[in-house]
Amino acid sequence: MPSSVANEGYKYQSSIGSRNTSSGSPPVVPNVDVDVVDESIAQLQLDTHHAHNQDAVVVSNKLRSAWKVKGSSLSLNTHNRIRNIVEALKIKPNPLKPMIPLSIGDPTIFGNLKAADETMKAVLKSVESGKFNGYAHTQGHEASRVAVAKYSAHQRIDGDIDPNDVVLCSGCSAALEYCILALADRGQNVLVPRPGFCLYHTLTEGLGIEVRYYDLLPELEWRADLKQLESLIDENTAALLINNPSNPCGSVFDKEHLMQLVDICERHYLPIIADEIYEHFVFPGSHHVAVSNLTREVPVLSCGGLTKRFLVPGWRMGWIIVHDQHKRLGNALTGLKNMCGRILGSNTIIQGALPDILTKTPQSYFDGVIDVLHSNAQLAYKLLKQVRGINPIMPNGAMYMMIGVCIERFPEFKDDTHFVQELVNEQSVFCLPGSCFEYPGYVRIVLTVPSTMIEEACVRIAEFCEAHFKKESRALIEHNLLDDAHVDY
């Protein structure tokens, strides 16, 4: 029977059962993970405390006379904006046209993009070893953290990341949650991009942490509006969240712009949460720079994972890398590591596979995935750029494209959500409205579908727009010309 490699780190020999038995020999006592022991002791102390105070609780509380179960304020104030908007749509796809869902941010859903053979074999090896069936250290197995530290060396100026600065999480979503909860308290605020991934809001609102949106400018390739961003900062601002490359924009910030963001954080003493899950999804002609590689002064919590680059979102393997050379995070770092104890660590089977996944998956595999995404982006941009009433913005990375909708040219529709609803009903093409990302007037499409589906979807979108596009009347044109010509002296 293989022993679990969960017994890493400090171990001790239990004195329980060490007395001589009837055979005259002490029993064999296995090594025990110190985390498991600490948790057991803490639970025992808690149970004892409850037992001592049980009578007092009964005396001080009135007994219930009926069922009065209530949802917690956290649960009732937690919402997924995408789910809320999509579920409210009244859609009935055209039965004569097969559905093309360009709304799903799961790159595996269509079957054209698959995990590499090396990635799959690494997990099989982990399972067959029998070594990864037990608990790990709450931050993750040491060998797994070492592998992530080496894989992410480009994020540090000196290329040297201590494995103790790596925290393994249940997906990048959990990594983001841990960072937000470690840095922000009720009544504080976090700055997040708009348009931006709706999960940022989902993770904060139920806890009484305010989200303040800084604007990304489409006319500047989705760079941040620096003046507007800085105006949002006050004494209760806990962190700046940077998503680069961006979901939903597909933008990639250059070094100069990142340095501008770093400068703001340095002047206002703000740590950065860097959502860099798409750091390797960059198209030819662009280059991703880790924000942590540009500063020693501003602490950065970088969130990444296997999800997108390795095409395994369901494996739920993410991580946080702490970049804090001057130890400015203080006890927030303790809090971050405490967060890991909430679910006792991430999936240990995938942890066991991490060293092989990160070192043996060939570059040719990654290049092939980027080729598919870039080719689809070029195809969609070429086809949609010709369509009246919409304006696609060519992405430089990630796996999405934002498309502006001049809703005034489609007077039958109230807004971008109504536009999306009727596009599904007439053409069986499902995009996400920009309202899902706090940015009405746009729709987002994914670029992970087979190229034939991208082409067909774009043709249908063009047909839909042409059918509902309304030209300006002569009177309106003349009115606009007169407005343009009017000048106040």
The CATH number given to whatever domain includes residue 437 is 3.90.1150.10
**How far, in Å, are 12, 100, 411, 416, 422 from residue 90 at the CA level?**
61, 17, 19, 14, 9
Tell me the average pLDDT across 370-385: 98
In contact, 132 and 282? CB cutoff 8 Å: no
Dihedral pair phi/psi, residue 16, rounded to 5°:
-65, 130
**344 with 381, same domain?**
no
**346 with 453, same domain?**
no
- pLDDT of amino acid 15: 41
Per the prediction, the chain carries an average pLDDT of 87
**225 with 298, same domain?**
yes
**449 with 377, same domain?**
yes
Cα torsion 96, 444, 177, 34: sign: positive
Residue 105, domain member (yes or no): yes
**236 with 385, same domain?**
no
Token look-up 């025992």 returns 44
Residue 199, domain member (yes or no): yes
Residue 330, domain member (yes or no): yes
Strands 166-169 and 318-323: antiparallel
Residue 459 belongs to what H/E stretch?
helix 451-468
Is residue 80 very low, low, confident or very high in pLDDT (cuts 50, 70, 90)? Answer: confident
Query: Is the per-residue pLDDT at 487 higher than 60?
Result: no
Instruction: Decide which of 478 and 376 is more confident.
Output: 376
**107 with 124, same domain?**
no
Tell me the average pLDDT across 414-430: 97
Strands 11-12 and 100-101: unpaired
Query: Is the per-residue pLDDT at 179 higher than 90?
Result: yes
Of the given ranges (281-285, 424-428, 472-476), which has the lowest mean pLDDT? Answer: 472-476
**178 with 165, same domain?**
yes
Tell me the average pLDDT across 30-51: 48
- pLDDT of amino acid 91: 84
Residue 464, domain member (yes or no): yes
**327 with 422, same domain?**
no
The tens digit of pLDDT for each residue in 271-300 reads 999 999 999 999 999 999 999 999 999 999
pTM of the model as a whole:
0.84
- pLDDT of amino acid 46: 52
- pLDDT of amino acid 21: 42
Distance from C-alpha of 117 to C-alpha of 365, rounded to nearest angstrom: 10
Query: Is the per-residue pLDDT at 419 higher than 60?
Result: yes
Tell me the average pLDDT across 354-375: 98
Tell me the average pLDDT across 343-365: 96
Amino acid at 316: R
- pLDDT of amino acid 77: 86
**101 with 124, same domain?**
no
- Give alpha helix (H) positions in 68-170: 73-76, 81-88, 117-129, 142-151
Residue 417, domain member (yes or no): yes
Instruction: Decide which of 117 and 65 is more confident.
Output: 117
Residue 252 belongs to what H/E stretch?
none
CATH of the domain at 259: 3.40.640.10
Asked which of 341, 360, 379 is the last residue of a domain, the reply is 360
Transcribe 178-189 into DSSP letters.
HHHHHH--TT-E
In contact, 355 and 143? CB cutoff 8 Å: yes
Residue 245, domain member (yes or no): yes
- CB atoms closer than 10 angstroms to residue 11: 13
Tell me the average pLDDT across 153-157: 95
Which stretches of 152-221 are assigned E, i.e. beta strand?
A: 166-169, 189-194, 210-217
**239 with 270, same domain?**
yes
Residue 86, domain member (yes or no): no
Find all residues with CB under 8 Å of 143, minimum gap 6, and list them: 5, 354, 355
- Domain count across the chain: 2
Residue 74, domain member (yes or no): no
Query: Is the per-residue pLDDT at 14 higher than 60?
Result: no
- pLDDT of amino acid 349: 98
**184 with 293, same domain?**
yes
**How far, in Å, are 213, 226, 264 from residue 233 at the CA level?**
11, 11, 10
Give the range of the structural domain holding residue 296, as residue numbers without chain letter.
117-360
- pLDDT of amino acid 18: 42
Amino acid at 190: V
**294 with 187, same domain?**
yes
Query: Is the per-residue pLDDT at 127 higher than 80?
Result: yes
